[in-house]
Structure 1
């Protein structure tokens, strides 16, 4: 069986395993991707935020604590929405059960749209990027991360080992569906080249202000060996864009 979009997280066992994996001390999401994302986001005081594929909405809790005036999370998994609702309880944040493709984007409604490691699950991004652009107020920002195209190009290394120090790059310029073994399931992701992400953003009308590849920061690691291992392969691609 192959899982598409948020459907894998509706499998209770997969969801439990994911939460355990996601919250482990040296999750690269926490010690590599998140610090860069927050740096690019910057000051959120007085901002209205939309989070696409918000998961547990822990980012939303943090942004609300930092002073954003509203937070809407969009999430396609019932299990994730349930967890996000618990996390946002007592805040000005809301979570909505919807896929990104069917979400009703309100025109010029947000100052910031964010998405963490969710867009590579979508078969089509052209319309999503255009809708995000439409939903932003003037000078609004779109900041998102995806798996690095080196990782999504070929799943040969993912099949071979769970703890990798190098990666087979193959079939790079053939964009499209990839089926990756992940947490004992087969999960569908979509490979796009670095160039394709860039061109789709330009086509939607965005000005690309910054691009990061998730260079590890030694101060974020408690293990020197783990830091050295993470210096070998880029895991993330992070864009900061402006309307």
Structure 2
């Protein structure tokens, strides 16, 4: 059964207090790096998998996309997307990304932000995405970095004085389910190696264009408490490929 933690009222309330929930892309540490590798958007048809509040959908719409479809499994997410980030060229649908069912070669760009690590079968999803893209189309996605997901706890190890000592990395090559604590709630995610991410894309016919381990922008490093700790280990991975 597909997990939909974001429709849990307690979890969603906590998520809504995160800076990226309140302030959008400007508060997302990876956004500046991600934005630099996006393809030309004007007059393109775009699909956003796991669109959440719709911040990226609105960005694509504002950049002149002819059509933007945002899908998410969470009705709560989509309610806010329709309030915060609506536009005449955006439509939102409540559907799990594994269940997408559009005609082949429907999109110029397929995008996903920090959602694919919730998906069990990456190969199945990539195969679908390849079919949905037009020739020359682009798939761009961000996920939690394999170093970040390997151990499962996704938290620093602290010394007796409460200071950060290090970030744990263990069981890296043992792929699969990880039960982790996110915002005080138990959440299921899936760990896979960097090799698996890239080789799966290649074996499905994609050409790798960019692989980025984003660092927070100078602005966030200077303005957000604790952000400099994010330079001690990669938290996210961004990949862009072309059909």
User: Is 2:125 the counterpart of 1:117?
Assistant: no
* Aligned equivalent of 1:140, options 132, 137, 140: 137
User: Is 2:18 the counterpart of 1:18?
Assistant: no
* Aligned equivalent of 1:74, options 65, 68, 71: 71
Question: 1:31 touches 1:221 (CA, 8 Å); kept in 2?
Answer: no
**What pairs up with 1:47-86 in 2 under 5 angstroms?**
47-86=44-83
**Structure 2 segments unaligned to the other structure (5+ residues):** none
1:152-210 Cα shifts (integer Å, max 9, x gaps): 10124528579966310000000000000111110000000000001110111100011
Change (3 A) 1:163 1:83: farther
Aligned counterpart, 1:231: 231
Change (3 A) 1:141 1:33: same
Mean CA deviation greater in 157-166 or 65-74 = 157-166
1:234 CA displacement: 0.4
1:91 CA displacement: 2.5
**Structure 1 segments unaligned to the other structure (5+ residues):** none
Question: 1:53 touches 1:100 (CA, 8 Å); kept in 2?
Answer: yes
Change (3 A) 1:163 1:183: farther
What TM-score do the two structures reach when normalised by structure 2?
0.90
**What pairs up with 1:1-243 in 2 under 5 angstroms?**
5=3, 7-23=4-20, 30-156=27-153, 158=155, 166-223=166-223, 226-243=226-243
Question: 1:166 touches 1:233 (CA, 8 Å); kept in 2?
Answer: no
Change (3 A) 1:185 1:163: farther
1:53 CA displacement: 0.5
2:220, 2:32 → 1: CA distance? Answer: 9
Question: 2:44 touches 2:65 (CA, 8 Å); kept in 1?
Answer: yes
SS at match of 1:41: coil
1:73, 1:221 → 2: CA distance? Answer: 30
Q: CA RMSD in A?
A: 2.6
Mean CA deviation greater in 9-18 or 213-222 = 213-222
1:90, 1:206 → 2: CA distance? Answer: 31
SS at match of 2:121: coil
